[in-house]
């Protein structure tokens, strides 16, 4: 197994991580930004106020894209396991 293979495997793993985590992170960022703007506009400085909308939005997002995330991870894992015999030849 040469270094280019290791770099390629690492690159694929990082890309899959970005793809799978991006929807949840973007939703949390968007909801946090909106709640922050509302808190700044109304001068309400309650730390727990932003927690509940983020959790609700992330649960909804997970319900919507969770199947795709699992499918992506399973496909990547299958491809990785199928590649194991080729790595040591």
Q: Which domain holds residue 15?
A: 3-87
Total number of domains in the chain:
1
Q: Where are the alpha helices (DSSP H) in 1-89?
A: 3-42, 51-87
Question: What digits encode the pLDDT tens for the residues 47-84?
Answer: 788 889 999 999 999 999 999 999 999 999 999 999 98
Separation of alpha carbons 19 and 69, rounded Å: 8
Q: HSE-up of 44 (CA within 13 Å, CB side)?
A: 11
Helices 3-42 + 51-87 axis angle, to 10 = 180
pTM of the prediction? Answer: 0.81
């Amino acid at each position: 197994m040469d270094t280019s293979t290791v770099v390629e495997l690492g690159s694929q793993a990082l890309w899959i991580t970005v793809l799978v985590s991006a929807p949840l992170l973007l939703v949390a960022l968007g909801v946090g930004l909106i709640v922050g703007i509302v808190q700044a506009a109304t001068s309400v400085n309650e730390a727990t106020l932003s927690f509940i909308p983020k959790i609700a939005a992330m649960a909804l997002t997970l319900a919507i894209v969770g199947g795709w995330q699992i499918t992506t991870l399973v496909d990547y894992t299958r491809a990785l396991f199928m590649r194991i015999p080729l790595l040591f030849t």
